[in-house]
Chains A and B, each alone.
Chain A
Amino acid sequence: MIRTRNPIVPYLFVTPLIALLVFIFGYPLVKIFDFSFRRIRGITGPWVGRENYDLILDHPLFREAVNHNLQLLIAVPILIFLSLLIAVVLFDQVKGWRIYRTILFIPYILAVPIVAVVLKNFLQFNGPFNETLRSVELDALAVDWIGSPDYALWTVMGVIIWRELGFGIILMLSRLLSLDQETLEAAELDGAGWWQRFFYVILPQMTGVIEFYFVVSLITMIAAVFSYIYMIGRGGPGTSTMVLELYIYNFITRNSLPGIASAVSVMLFLVTTVLILILFWLRRGAREREVG
């Protein structure tokens, strides 16, 4: 072990790593902020001040994209509720729970493009899903899930929930399996029913992991749904599934305006940073409660 009284020495050891991190993350971040104030053509362009931000905020499609991201946030409470519910059922160790756990986790390990392509075919107007509905006289429910602007965003949301749920279940189940069994047994011996044990014993101990999953899901819905959106409908039909990430992508690839894309990226970065700070704040509160 190296012993030193010089306070600078430890910092010298971590300097290479910090330099690497600054290079990998810091430089692109600085460039994105810089680009967001320029009209970039190719790899550079003139300084235009806050013009890019003004253009974006006045752009109806940007507002529509924000609106769609906000609508996708509806998936967050659904994800939390379903993952908690299924995890608790599995925790009760119903017969074959290990197999169910594996099956429920499979969607999460599948690549998004595969999930999107398979489900897109499954949900076509004359695809297997609607044919099944028609075969049981439920024709009214056999709508155009991916082709109608009225349903497309909700269909995408359903696909996201279907795939992302596996992560939530495993997260919740891991926490459940680490709970103090004696407390649960004591509650049962004291005559607490299933619901009482859930609400008064299990749930309070799950707060930390639920908060974590809540913030992670929020960030997913705001800044990590591109692969679903792109693979399922590229923002369509119409602009019914346009989200911020696709908006950024279009301005880079189709519109050749990296400055605009950078300005939206900066906004998205700031929003997700705030969410992460909230997560840290919540975690600190949870730790203090646990210690208390």
Chain B
Amino acid sequence: MSRVSRRHFLKMSAALGAGLGFSRSLPAFARNVRLQDTELLMWWWGEQELPGLQQFVDDSIAAYTDARIEAVLQDTSVVISQFQTASAANEAPDIQYLWNGIYHMESVWFGYLEPLNGLVDQTVLDVSTPTLLSNYGGNVYRVGWYPLPMVWYYNKELYDQAGLDADNPPKTWDEFLDACDKLKGAGIAPVGGGIQDGFWGEWYLGHGLVQNLDSVGEALDLFIGERDFREPKYHEFWTKLEELVSLGFINEEMSSLELYPGIDLVVTGQLAMGESIGSRVPADNAALNGNLGVMVMPVYGTGALAGKPILDVQGLGISSQSDNKEAAAAFLEFLHSPDRLTAFWETTQWMPSNTGWDASVIEDPVVKFMWDNWNLGENIPYISNLVPGQFYTDALLPNAQEIIAGNRTGEEAGEVAAQVVEDWRAFNPDLLENYQTWGEDLR
């Protein structure tokens, strides 16, 4: 047996250690080399509602070195259909922009989307708050990108003129009616907006129906037939709308104005209160010189979800057909890195959907209020995002428009909704099982 000198032993140990270290770093090295050769196709949307997002996407792609990314901005009308058609033809992009709820769940049911749990870092998934509506069958299908708090606006100047406390907007329905009465008495249109294009009715259902629900899944029961819109508690929100119309609290031109011109009425001091969306707050509050207030819809309901802030979140997903799922996941994680979150705020002046983001850069107190209450506080998802398309076009939009026009009562709206749900079930017997499964995720 040959003797091994100390020097020889140390040399061998060093060589062995270096070899081991090198061999351990090989997979990471190989992965990096592979990723650098990777090309990803990303179809996205959002510049239309969040100016500056295009710049953020371009900058992020330029800053990302692990893969080459081609980003294509989609037209609003084809965000869903283009992805589904491409998937059916096996030509789907690696990364796809996804609206929440049913707007991406159908693609999940077709098998076009990859579950992200286990693929994207769980911490990133959690802090991005894709909301409950991205869950199906125990899996999560989106990474949150940017939040859309669903809010009610009120004009503090008009509150002051009517002798109301602008720092304490109404919390209950009775307080709300009292405020409307005082505003009307001061010659100010109390509440409303524009519903000519129908979308105000969508937001209203999102704010109103939840007030008598104990869980989000309970809303799905209305569509799978276990509950019925004819029950008063499920159409009470339309009855409340009818009440506002009958009391003359709705702005008179609401039926002929579209959603956004209707919101402008609050900002221009022609209307005291109305529904809006959080992403408008920075500009609208600046236009009002800091006199814009946001609140949740005043509470009349008795459900566990009543009075809670509603948070919708836009997100991104990965195609099940992608050959580079890991690379796509790595890019989605990159978008949530601290540097990218800072860049998001700088280019869009809007919050990223990431609860770990350093929000100290927010200067506007109303935006900060939304961040603390809608994003970080206990929130609920926007349930208009889970109604079937047929219900959306045949009941949700028409009911609100007809009630505002004074042509339909809340109870009649419930009857119409129940009838449309029955029609939907007849047209879509194959979707019922999916809805039932989804309901389990939402309880």
Contacts and interface: CB of A to CB of B under 8 A. Distances in A.
Given A125-B255, A236-B198, A254 B393 contact: yes
Contacts of A149: 401-402, 405, 407
Contacts of B321: none
Interface stretch (A29-37, A71-79, A91-99, A255-263): A255-263
A77 B1 CA distance: 115
Interface of B: 77, 81, 84-85, 87-89, 106, 110, 195-198, 252-257, 388-390, 392-394, 397-399, 401-402, 404-405, 407-408, 419, 423, 426-428, 430
5 contacts: A42-B110, A55-B427, A149-B407, A237-B198, A260-B427
Contacts of B426: 55
A98 B160 CA distance: 60
A236 B253 contact: no
A220 interface: no
A236 B423 contact: no
Contact of A250 (B81, B87, B393): B393
Interface in A104-140: 120, 123-127
Contact of B81 (A61, A233, A253): A253
B405 A147 contact: yes
Nearest to B423: A59
B256 A254 contact: no
Contact of A238 (B84, B85, B401, B423): B401
A237 B106 contact: no
A236 B256 CA distance: 11
Given A255-B393, A256-B389, 6 more contacts: A60-B423, A126-B253, A150-B407, A236-B398, A239-B394, A257-B427
A43 interface: yes
Interface string A37-69: 001011100000000000100011100000000
8 A-B pairs with the lowest CB-CB distances in the bound complex, closest first: A147-B255, A147-B256, A254-B389, A237-B401, A125-B256, A238-B398, A125-B253, A43-B88
Nearest to A146: B256
A149 B196 CA distance: 11
A236 B397 CA distance: 8
A166 interface: no
Contacts of A237: 195-196, 198, 255, 398, 401-402, 404-405
A146 B405 CA distance: 11
A127 B258 CA distance: 13
A257 B428 contact: yes
Interface in A14-42: 39, 41-42
Nearest to B87: A42
A35 to B, nearest CB: 14
B254 to A, nearest CB: 7
Interface of B is mostly: helix
A61 B394 contact: yes
Contact of B398 (A43, A239, A254, A256): A239
Interface residues of A, number: 35
Contacts of B428: 257
Contact of B427 (A127, A145, A233, A255): A255
A234 to B, nearest CB: 6
Given A41-B110, A59-B423, A236-B196, A145 B256 contact: yes
A148 interface: yes
Contacts of A144: 253, 255-256, 405
A147 B254 contact: yes
Contacts of B252: 125-126
Interface string A222-235: 00000000000111
Contact of B256 (A42, A60, A124, A239): A124
A150 B423 CA distance: 25
Contacts of A61: 394, 423
Contacts of A257: 427-428
Contacts of B405: 144, 147-149, 237-238
A131 B89 CA distance: 54
Contacts of B388: 255
B401 A146 contact: no
A124 B428 CA distance: 38
Contacts of B389: 250, 253-256
A61 B394 CA distance: 8
Nearest to A58: B426
Contacts of A60: 419, 423
A151 to B, nearest CB: 10
A253 B82 CA distance: 11
Given A42-B88, A238-B407, A257-B428, A146 B196 contact: yes
Max count, chain A CB within 10 A of own CB: residue among B392, B399, B405:
B405
B248 to A, nearest CB: 15
Nearest to A148: B405
Contacts of A255: 388-390, 393, 427
Contacts of A145: 256
A43 B401 contact: no
A234 B198 CA distance: 9
Contact of B106 (A147, A150, A236, A256): A256
A148 B255 contact: yes
B430 to A, nearest CB: 7
Nearest to B110: A42
Contacts of A253: 77, 81, 389
A238 to B, nearest CB: 4
A127 B197 CA distance: 16
A148 B253 CA distance: 10
B394 to A, nearest CB: 6
A191 to B, nearest CB: 55
B268 to A, nearest CB: 13
A237 B401 CA distance: 6
A192 B271 CA distance: 65
A147 B197 CA distance: 9
